Chain A
Amino acid sequence: MPQDPEKLIRTAISELLVEAGQSPDFDEAESLFDSGKLDSIAAVTLLTILEGELGIDLSDPDFEVEEIDTFAAIMELASEQAAA
């Protein structure tokens, strides 16, 4: 588990937004993927980070990709994982 998951995720999202030609700033509850701001390749990048850095098990049948649509949801997922 990295020292600061929040910083790691925030930086990753900002970089993905810049790569997609958008502003790096985002609200915690703002939809990132469903809104079309980021595409599925960006989702793949983020999922890989969640899996590799935060140890989230993507193959868990209860995991839904919708759970990473906002920064707040990702942090909730990360804290659930840390508590488990």
Chain B
Amino acid sequence: MTAIDADLRPQSSTSLYNPLALRRLWLGMDGNDRAIAWAQSWLGIAVIHAGLVLCLAAIPYISDKHLALIAITLFMTAVLPKRRGIVLAVMGGAYFLLRPFRNSMNNDHFFGIWSDIGFVTTNAFAGTALFGLAFVAVLLLLIENQRRKILPLVADRPVLSLFTVLATLTGITLVAPQDSMVFRSAWVIVAYLASTFFFIGYILMAARQKKAPSNTTLLGFVRPVWANSVVPIKGPGYFAKFEARTPEDLAVTRLKGLKLAVWAAILFWSAELIFAHGVRGQLGLPGFDAVILATAAGEGGSTALNWIALFVHFLEKVLLVGASIHALVALIRVIGFGIPRGMVSPLASRTISEYWGRYLFYFKELLSDFFFFPTFQRCFKKYPRLRIAFATFMAAFVGNVLFDMISDAGTFGLNGFGDTITKYYSYTLYAGLLTVGIIWSQIWQTKPRAEDGFLRYHVWPRVIVIGFFALLQVFDDSSGIVPFEDRLVFFLSLFGVA
């Protein structure tokens, strides 16, 4: 339970005609005995699941095919709650075998390779299934190695070993001719590994825990049914802690999931109404990328307009990112895992590091798990401040940039090193500035206290935090669609520098 969830307790009994009372009733339903009993009935289960699917369908982040897979999974976990692990493994396995890549370029290139090879059949899905099964077989060997330590070097440093393999194969794709068998073999492994790298990292970390989950459970996390991006929401070890153990727990978790799903839909449609229809549609303010490009071309509006575009984009992004992460967490909760929210009131943050933890909780966790703690455990033990600063640098800068590059590793071989790396100039500057901000916040920023007064406690710290992250988003991009130079020109224009 997060601090936010803890506030959602049932209030006094209230009139059904009072909207505020209804809101309290809705927010407190996961603590209401009657609602919990209803959520355990077949009608309650059906309504909760249908409500969730409707909310997910109302938020266009999930494709129709993915939504169909989710709906089947929900049906099966509802009917077989005690077989949740097996259902997730089977459905996650199917998802991975049929849709192993997260980007269409990799998908198309793989299909091209497969149609050339034409092994038994040229059906592309037969190809992904075949390679996927071979990939899973190797993963099982790695899991077994984590348990038995047959190769201690790999078992002690599983993620580093995986990264070494990925980097070597990516190097091969950069030097081998694209039509050679060497390139194709290396590229297929790179593409599979890149889209599952951190999922596998979590699986291997869980496999060496004292109470490690079964292989079936672990395999369900190669591509969990909820995963619609390359950012894993932690791993199997974490989920085991939050799994509902009793029918009552499950009912409470599902009610929390439904509440969050409705909240996600409200956030999404609020953003659509306010920003897409209101600000851009009615008021005619151009999109953020268009403002940047126009400013860089010397055809932009006033400095004030650029500031407005900056904050509008910032607020819209917070709402939309919030809606997408809430939708996924809601789905996970209805399946039966009461995990914490992925975003908790980021605009209420009073320090930069607090915002970073509240805005993208699970991405921050990923960087902490794979970069921050491993560095903190080993480096600069005698120098406390340097130890924290270096671990933060490894997570917020190195890990942050590396995450994007690893997820995009297949592109290096296809587009060449130079063209691919150019996309990361902007994101590298973003990660650098973010790192400086977080280190300053962790080590030197004084946490405001209530006795400092209203302005110094409630207003000023939040203005600094929101201002910092609003400005930072100018460079928060690794798509390369808007060039780095144009972003820099726009950033400087905000301060009157032509």
Contacts and interface: CB of A to CB of B under 8 A. Distances in A.
Given A48-B384, A64-B209, A40 B156 contact: no
Given A31-B241, A34-B241, A41 B353 contact: yes
Interface residues of A, number: 25
Contacts of B384: 48
B250 interface: no
Interface stretch (B83-91, B256-264, B365-373): B365-373
> Interface on chain A toward B: helix, strand, loop, or mixed SS?
loop
A22 to B, nearest CB: 6
B3 A59 contact: no
B241 A61 contact: no
A58 B391 CA distance: 14
B484 to A, nearest CB: 30
B2 A65 contact: no
A36 B344 contact: yes
Contact of A36 (B2, B237, B388): B2
A40 B372 contact: yes
B205 interface: yes
B3 A37 contact: yes
A40 B357 contact: yes
B237 A35 contact: no
A41 B353 CA distance: 9
Contacts of A34: 234, 238, 241-242, 340
B262 to A, nearest CB: 21
A37 B340 CA distance: 10
Contacts of B157: 61
Given A35-B340, A61-B157, A64-B209, A21 B369 contact: no
A34 B240 CA distance: 11
B5 to A, nearest CB: 9
A65 B442 contact: no
Nearest to A21: B3
A56 to B, nearest CB: 10
Contacts of B372: 40
Nearest to A63: B377
Nearest to A39: B357
A35 B239 CA distance: 11
A60 B3 CA distance: 33
A26 B113 CA distance: 56
A50 to B, nearest CB: 11
Contacts of A12: none
A64 B205 contact: yes
A47 interface: yes
Contacts of B381: 51
Interface in A4-56: 20-22, 31, 34-37, 39-41, 43-44, 47-48, 51
B238 A65 contact: no
Contacts of A31: 241
A44 to B, nearest CB: 6
A41 B341 CA distance: 19
Interface in B180-233: 205, 208-209
B377 A59 contact: yes
A47 B357 contact: no
A31 B361 CA distance: 16
Nearest to A76: B210
Nearest to A60: B377
B16 interface: no
B3 A40 contact: no
Nearest to B152: A61
A22 B381 CA distance: 30
A13 B2 CA distance: 16
B333 to A, nearest CB: 14
Contacts of B341: 36
B141 interface: no
B34 interface: no
Contacts of A47: 376-377
A41 B368 CA distance: 10
Q: Which interface residue of A41, A48, A58 has the most chain B CB atoms within 10 A?
A: A41
23 contacts: A34-B234, A34-B238, A34-B241, A34-B242, A36-B2, A36-B3, A36-B340, A36-B344, A36-B361, A39-B353, A40-B372, A40-B373, A43-B373, A44-B376, A47-B377, A48-B384, A58-B378, A59-B377, A61-B157, A62-B208, A64-B208, A65-B377, A66-B238
Interface of B: 1-3, 156-157, 205, 208-209, 234, 237-238, 241-242, 340-341, 344, 353-354, 357, 361, 364, 368-369, 372-373, 376-378, 381, 384, 388, 391, 442
Given A22-B3, A39-B353, 15 more contacts: A21-B3, A34-B238, A34-B241, A35-B2, A36-B3, A37-B2, A39-B354, A39-B357, A44-B388, A47-B377, A48-B384, A51-B381, A59-B377, A64-B208, A66-B237
